[in-house]
Structure 1
Amino acid sequence: MIEQNFIKLYENNFKKNWELPAITDYKETTSYTYGALAEEIARLHVLFSELHLRQGDKIALIGKNHSSWSIVFLATITYGAVIVPILHEFNPESMNELMAHSESKLLFVTESIWEHLDQNKFHIPIVNIPSFSLMQSPDEETAEKFREWKKLFHQRYPQGFKKEDILYPEISNEEVICINYTSGTTGFSKGVMLTANNFAGNVTYAAKLDLLFEGEPHLAFLPMAHAYGCAFDFLYALSVGVHVTLLGIMPTPQNLLKAFEEIKPKLIISVPLIFEKIYKRKILPIVEKPVVKFLLKVPLINTFIYKKIRHSIIHGLGGNFREVIIGGAALNGDVENFFHKIGFPFTVGYGMTECAPLISYDHHYDFVPTSCGSVLEGIMEARIDSEDPENVPGEIQVRGENVMKGYYKNPEATAAAFTSDGWLKTGDSGIMKGRRLYIKGRIKTMILTANGQNIYPEEIESRLNNLPYIAESLVVEKNNGLVALIHPDYAALETHGISRDDIQKIMNKNIKTLHKSVALYEKIKAIEIVETEFEKTPKKSIKRFLYQ
């Protein structure tokens, strides 16, 4: 059990940083100091009390990153209720199902999402965010409580809300405070029960790394309804008094670069896709030029070129950060190798929703390419289900402070997720040298050939995605052979005046190039062109089950 009580961490921090800026909505006028944030939390506590919500009751939350989203999340867990953040990218039918499954007593939702839900299925109060206005009430009594809400708050705090008024209930770290529904590549959503201790393990570990300090700027652009963005962009940042700016708009390269320039964050927490795009669209066109290719082979000159590229990337990302942390999915090998070669300050971590989410991490100056960091010292343990864990891949299994309590109302899935001696089965295959993990791929996606060879399609896709005019790819098994499903980079084809009639010829050439760098059993036997982008999870991983 983590010694630091998770809920009291925020009670103390809100008092300590009362006057400092806490949360700002990018491109909006909304901004809260830690004191103002605590007051909004207290305002919701009054409402929860009037609605007779009890500790352990579920409160659902559906919306994009916004200060109002943050307030609901924090108000729920500091009240002693259980927050159920549902990704706004789920389809409406799934949202309806998850709401019913979670047994939530109250729903906070943006109006644009509410309009697409089956409203007849809900018999609980529905509250709009960001306005906090009542959109639907199960009865007149509840509606009256909303009308009296502001008056009741002023009655509770007649002298105004003060620093000393912040007092949260004693909630044990053992208690479940969040049910996070996964949106993985297998197509089945499970409610991961995360305890205060799971979050405390992540947040207190991050605090020891000295990545962010009181009063510093931070830009949050990952979905906070997902464990990765929630734990680090949001909960960790606010636990150390950081000023968090919520992007709130699509994290396109153009929007991100502009926001980085304005905010100048001290830490960047990202997913691989963003840096893979930077590499493919900004860097490859330069380093693939014949003259540059030649110069990169010349000692000293290549060092100068790499330094210029590194400086350009750092400047484009605000020029003020200590480190870039990449997680949520595997980083393309060629991209990782290049960024490491030029001395860019990045690291790749590993985690999963069931660990809220962190399992392994290394500072950028300790990072070893192809690894995903070292298992968290004093927090987590890991083992490889293999007769030779350092050389023969096996399932990565973990246990420790960050491991979930189980899946909500799903004892069968919970039992299946753990070994008989209590280790969580991650579903990832890898090796471990010392405490450092090296992931090979998902066990469920591994292809076993007729002659007993293990093929990890992610490794082949990583190579394919760096070849000309390939936007993304998926390698699947069909008729005892490997088939590459390829979505072409139509924008690049158009820019270079290449006809769509030539796509197959280009892809055939790409496959020949690929075959020079893969094993015989990894060769592609056929290509299928996919006209539209592959459907993805919020972490931007392809939903493989849709294409098997």
Structure 2
Amino acid sequence: MTYHHLSVLIHRQAEKYGDKVALKYRDYETSQWIPITWNKFSRTVRQAANALVALGAEEQRNIGIFSQNKPECLFTDFAAFANRLVTIPLYATSSSAQAQYIINDAQIRFLFVGEQFQYDAAFSAFGFCHSLEKLIIFDRSVVRDPRDKTSIYYDEFLALGEGLPHNAVVEERTARASDSDLANILYTSGTTGEPKGVMLHHFNYREAIRIHDIRLTAMTDKDVSMNFLPLTHVFEKAWTYFCLHRGVQVCVNLRPADIQTTIKEIRPTLMCSVPRFWEKVYAGVQEKIAQESGLRKAMMLDALKVGKMHNIDYLRAGKTPPLMLHLKYKFYEKTIYALLKKTIGIENGNFFPTAGAAVSDEICEFVHSVGINMVVGYGLTESTATVSCFLDKGYEIGSVGTVMPDLEVKIGENNEILLRGKTITTGYYKKPEATAAAIDKDGWFHTGDAGYLKGNHLYLTERIKDLFKTSNGKYISPQALETKLSIDRYIDQIAVIADQRKFVSALIVPVYGLVKNYAKEKGLEYKDMADLLQHPKVQALFRARIDTLQQQFAHYEQVKRFTLLSEPFSMERGELTNTLKLKRSVVAKNYKELIDKMYEE
């Protein structure tokens, strides 16, 4: 595959594909998907690149993009690369204070904002950001603050580049663009401390694309990818660049909550997702099986059994399934599996990369049994995403796949996973101490994740920094327990508590709808959700479900007491990061009284 530097990628693809559709986005007024051809993509990028020169953007300086996923994010990215600028994405859910920290840390002059929420957060931070000169607003329906005298809308910004008045400057800058240029600074919304800006250079992306070309051979320019995770996240960002490099059509999903609708409208062949997406699919199927009876129930259970034998016991191991098993599988493929995939919207599925958290063995087995090719992987912002991922055959359930080509992985002290290679960051922006702590003198990056290698298969055991030590001196891994328990259809969110405590407890956010259904079935009376969650029958239901799921854990690792919460953990209260990971210290502080109560004698 020919690799084109990201500064020229879109133009080279336009020469190859012309009026073929490159991107699609949803018009919410008409509920229609609007196509953007490669030619139009290329023209818009050129115009935006000229507009950046008109604004006074200088080479190797930082610009920010603070938006939900929109085609404008990509126009701006590639226009910036043409000018040798560095783009810094901010999570669309960031607060004003978070935005202010990043703008000041990176000395951002121009910030592109998406919708009203991002505009409001950015504008209220404006006075505290001395480097910030201008907001450029993607969404025309955003209402500007009456005091705002500097912001412009994206169409006004593009008008500055109409007729390409500064093309000579852009061309000259693009000619100087090199692999050693900085491409992005990605701020990780760490679960502790202030965010760190991970520097990713163009050589990091070149290498990431090269090793994915070797690994992901099933992908072609006939594929359609649903861009669902935030483009701020390295997983989706690097994946989208890779899709564009392979000529794949990218459909941009604006609002994460809309995925159930948009996936059925697009019916993609590819989509990056997090395990939570598949956990919900699994819970839905379990729910359906629980409601069925007689022959239909027996068939559904048999379909899962047959799928497991066919796909996992035989195909995965590189063996040919017996004829009768194969015929049964084919029957279910046309009936039960087909219906399931169509219901989700993935009946055209090719493969589905999944990472960002641990995937439980049950979920992994289930998804593969019904013939969905979920490519489980592991990666970090600091490694330009993928460190390892499943192969089509020979993947090991419980592992995070096989190490990517030409990436060095070794296991260090405390079983820590160490990485070395061309996809690894050179360090954290303006943070020499943090960089020195993460990358040792031999160039090994310390991930903070513990694991082991079995051949070329990588297994994760726990996040070293997240290990809890009980007051009895026993170490427990909260993620392992949380991953196991969160597959239960009644559990939406869970925070395991154990650090410096004498036993393990948990705060649980239930799936409220299912608890209400249960109350209706059992004829339970209650005033409100808080009252219902205290009901002895509801408490007993959760106790039984937790005990069933935690059997394989050692006695000291099991949840002894739990509290059901009547409202979910939230980003507003700082309990979740932008990538929806738990901030354990904030949860411990916010729920101190409830937690202490679980430890009363």
TM-score w.r.t. the length of structure 2 is 0.80
Shift of 1:224: 0.6
Deviation at 1:25, TM superposition (A): 0.8
Q: Do the aligned residues in 2 keep the contact of 1:178 with 1:195 (CA within 8 Å)? A: yes
Is residue 539 from structure 1 mapped to residue 546 from structure 2 by the alignment?
A: no
- The answer to whether the 8 Å contact 1:80/1:169 transfers is no
What amino acid does structure 1 have at the position aligned with 2:562?
Answer: I
Q: 1:455 aligns with which of 466, 470, 476?
A: 476
Q: Are 1:523 and 2:530 an aligned pair?
A: no
Q: 1:26 to 1:96 in 2, by over 3 A?
A: same
**For 1:25, what is the secondary structure of its paired residue?**
strand
Contact 1:174–1:196 (CA under 8 A) maintained in structure 2? yes
Which 5+ residue runs of structure 1 have no aligned equivalent? 387-392
Shift in alpha-carbon separation, 1:299–1:237, aligned structure 2, 3 A: closer
Shift of 1:55: 1.1
Once the two structures are superposed, what CA deviation does each residue of 1:90-140 show, in whole Å capped at 9, x if it has no partner?
112111111111101211113512123323234402111145999799999
Say whether 1:93 aligns with 2:97. Answer: yes
Residue 179 of structure 1, aligned match among 171, 185, 193? 185
The answer on whether the counterparts of 1:486 and 1:529 sit within 8 Å (CA) in structure 2 is yes
Which stretch of the first structure deviates more once superposed, 306-315 or 190-199? 306-315
Q: CA RMSD in A?
A: 3.4
Aligned residue number for residue 390 of structure 1:
none
Q: Is residue 2:263 matched to residue 1:260?
A: yes
Residue 403 of structure 1 pairs with residue 424 of structure 2: yes
Contact 2:507 2:564 in 1 (8 A): yes
C-alpha distance in 1, partners of 2:8/2:188? 27
2:134–2:150 contact (8 Å) kept in structure 1: no
1:128 aligns with 2:137: yes
- Return closer, same or farther for 1:132/1:151 CA change in 2, 3 Å cut-off: farther
- In the TM superposition, what is the alpha-carbon distance from 1:50 to its structure 2 partner? 2.2
Aligned-partner Cα distance in 2 for 1:3–1:40? 22
Q: For the Cα contact (< 8 Å) 1:128–1:135, is it kept in 2?
A: no
Helix, strand or coil: the match of 2:88?
strand
Q: Is residue 467 of structure 2 the alignment partner of residue 446 of structure 1?
A: yes
Q: Show CA shifts across 1:395-433 (max 9, x none).
A: 111011111121111111111112232211111111111
Deviates more, 1:266-275 or 1:107-116: 107-116
Q: Which amino acid aligns with 2:181?
A: E
Fraction of identical pairs, as percent? 25
**Structure 2 gaps, min length 5:** 308-327, 525-531, 571-575, 589-601
**TM-score, structure 1 length as denominator?**
0.87
Find 2:174's aligned residue among 165, 168, 175.
168
Verify the 8 A CA contact 1:60 1:85 in the aligned structure 2: yes
| Residue pair 2:48, 2:157 contacting (<8 A) in 1 also | no
Establish whether residue 249 from structure 1 lines up as the match of residue 255 from structure 2: yes
Q: Tell me: CA distance 1:276–1:170, structure 2 relative to 1, closer, same or farther (3 Å).
A: same
SS of the equivalent of 2:505 reads strand
Structure 1 residues 256-335: aligned runs within 5 Å: 256-286=259-289, 302=306, 307=333, 308-315=335-342, 316-335=344-363
Q: Does 1:47 align with 2:46?
A: no
Per-residue deviation at 1:510?
Answer: 3.0
Q: Measure, in 1, the Cα distance between the counterparts of 2:157 and 2:578.
A: 38
Which structure is higher in RCO with an 8 Å CA cutoff and minimum separation 6? 1
Q: 1 CA distance for matches of 2:89 and 2:199?
A: 12
Alignment-mate amino acid for residue 229 of structure 2: L
Secondary structure of residue in 2 paired with 1:154: coil
In structure 2, distance between residues paired with 1:51 and 1:134: 22
- Listed one character per residue, the Cα deviations across residues 457-507 of structure 1 (whole Å, up to 9, x for unaligned) are 222223322346322222111522111111122110112326412332322
Matches within 5 A, 1:227-246: 227-232=234-239, 234-246=240-252
CA distance in 1, matches of 2:386, 2:55: 35
Instruction: Compare 96-105 and 241-250 and name the one that shifted more.
Output: 241-250
Q: Distance in 2 between matches of 1:141 and 1:335?
A: 50
Partner AA of 2:227 in structure 1? A
**CA offset at residue 444 of structure 1?**
1.4
Note the 1:98-177 alignment, pairs <5 A: 98-112=102-116, 113-117=118-122, 118=124, 119-122=126-129, 123-131=132-140, 150=159, 153-154=162-163, 156=165, 168-177=174-183
Taking a change above 3 Å as real, the CA distance of residues 155 and 335 of structure 1, as seen in their structure-2 partners, is closer
Cα deviation 1:218-260 (Å, max 9, x = unaligned):
221111111111111x211111222211111233xxx434433
